[in-house]
Amino acid sequence: MSATPLSKGLTYRDAGVNIDAGEEVVDLIQPVLKRTHSSRVLGRHGAFAGMFQLDFAKKSMRRNYRRPVLVACTDGVGTKVLMAAERRVYNTVGIDCVAMNVNDLIVQGAEPLFFLDYLGLSTLQPADTSAMIEGVARGCEIAGCALLGGECAEMPDIYKPGDFDIAGFCVGVVEYDNIIDSTRVKKNDIIIGLESSGVHSNGYTLVRRIVRDAGLDLNAKYAELGDRTLCEILMEPTRIYAKSIVKLVGALRKKKAISGMAHITGGGLPGNVCRALPKKLDAVIEKSSWQRQPIFPFLQGHGGVDEVEMYRVFNMGIGFTIFSRPDSVDRMMKLLTRSGEKPTIIGSIEKGSGEVRLK
């Protein structure tokens, strides 16, 4: 059977990929990327790969490491992107993407150096796509790292119209002697919690199910949630703790007052604080020691979600935890407050088996 040739030659655009739109996005985001660059970024915009100088040659800008260890991580934003796509909110998920990566990276005591993003979508709309990347750049500015490059992939055969996904890749560095891990943790260490900005970027499959099953209106303002719409509260970007933690680690490095840290993501406090513990110690956390944001009891009530399940899925108002030596707590609290954080003592380290006990 012979094939019938088309009367008009097909183009890539006919197949669903617009090269011109891609080039327009590249032009639009060039100044955005440059905002995040320091003298450590080398090479030209549009090169096949980005380059980052670990050490400076100039004495006035020297940041050399005796035994540098590179730290890397990758993460996405999960199903929060579905809500972003449905509500056409494109300028915040980029911040979420940076946060989910750098907040993991700083747990080891590392300084974030540079970030790369990957954006897959159905149709490349220059204004919307630029807004997403603008969010990534804003996140990098907050975190103090360079947006070194990324990839925008227009794939109409993979994504439904309007759908997209975003992922990020971050690299940082830490001096070998300053790596923070579970071997530092001791009995009687104090656990400090840092306030989250709300739900952050975990548990959105459950969030969306509650919204659907309870018939909640994302455009509505609910009395118990204050003067913002439900959508505005749920799309609030994840807090980025990088600058505060990097500054804290630097200030307390010689004393080694920080014995452990944990980024509270999927799994909540029980599923993440345990990752910073040795096998013979437990973290005992007092649930009444901090104020939960109204969104958590709101979701729990409308979804009929069990209290244990809430703590297994959501951060419940604590986005990051730090273990401190008892004699350094006061100074640590002051340094964190000075950095704009709202630190709260939420528990302590006791003998146990590497678990988290919520009281």
Domain ranges of the chain: 19-46+66-177, 182-358
Phi first, then psi: what are they for 77, rounded to 5°? Answer: -115, 0
- The CB density around residue 155, as the number of other CB atoms within 10 Å, is 15
53 vs 171, 173, 302, CA distance in Å?
Answer: 12, 12, 51
Inform me whether the pLDDT recorded for 67 exceeds 90.
Answer: no
Q: Are 19-46+66-177 and 182-358 equal in CATH topology? A: no
pLDDT, tens digit, for every residue of 124-159? 888 888 899 999 999 999 999 999 988 888 899 889
The fraction of the chain above a pLDDT of 70, given in percent, is 84
Enumerate long-range contacts of 87-93, CB under 8 Å, 24 or more apart.
Answer: 87/218, 87/231, 87/235, 88/128, 89/231, 89/235, 90/128, 90/129, 90/131, 90/132, 90/135, 91/131, 91/132, 91/134, 91/135, 92/135, 92/235, 92/236, 92/237, 93/132, 93/135, 93/166, 93/237
- Is domain 182-358 classified as CATH 3.90.650.10? yes
Query: Does the pLDDT at position 252 exceed 50?
Result: yes
Which residue stretches of 36-125 are H helix? 80-87, 93-105
The mean predicted confidence, pLDDT, of the chain is 88
* Per-residue pLDDT band at 61 (split at 50, 70, 90): very low
Share of the chain above pLDDT 90, in %: 72
The mean per-residue pLDDT over the stretch 258-287 comes to: 95
Q: Residue 63's pLDDT is what?
A: 62
Report whether pLDDT(24) > 60: no
List, for residues 233-244, the tens digit of each pLDDT value: 999 999 999 999
pTM of the model as a whole:
0.88
317, HSE (Cβ side, Cα atoms, 13 Å): 16
Q: Average pLDDT, stretch 331-353? A: 96
Q: How far is CA 149 from CA 32, 33, 117, 118, 285, in A?
A: 11, 8, 7, 9, 40
Cα–Cα distance, 288 to 7 (Å, whole number): 72
- Summarize pLDDT for 200-239 with one digit per residue, the tens: 999 999 999 999 999 999 999 999 999 999 999 999 999 9
The DSSP secondary-structure symbol of 276 reads G
Q: Which of 41-45, 184-188, 256-260, 288-292 has the lowest mean pLDDT?
A: 41-45
pLDDT attached to residue 356:
95
Fold for domain 19-46+66-177?
A: 60s Ribosomal Protein L30; Chain: A; (3.30.1330)
Is pLDDT above 70 for 2?
no
Average pLDDT over residues 283-305: 96
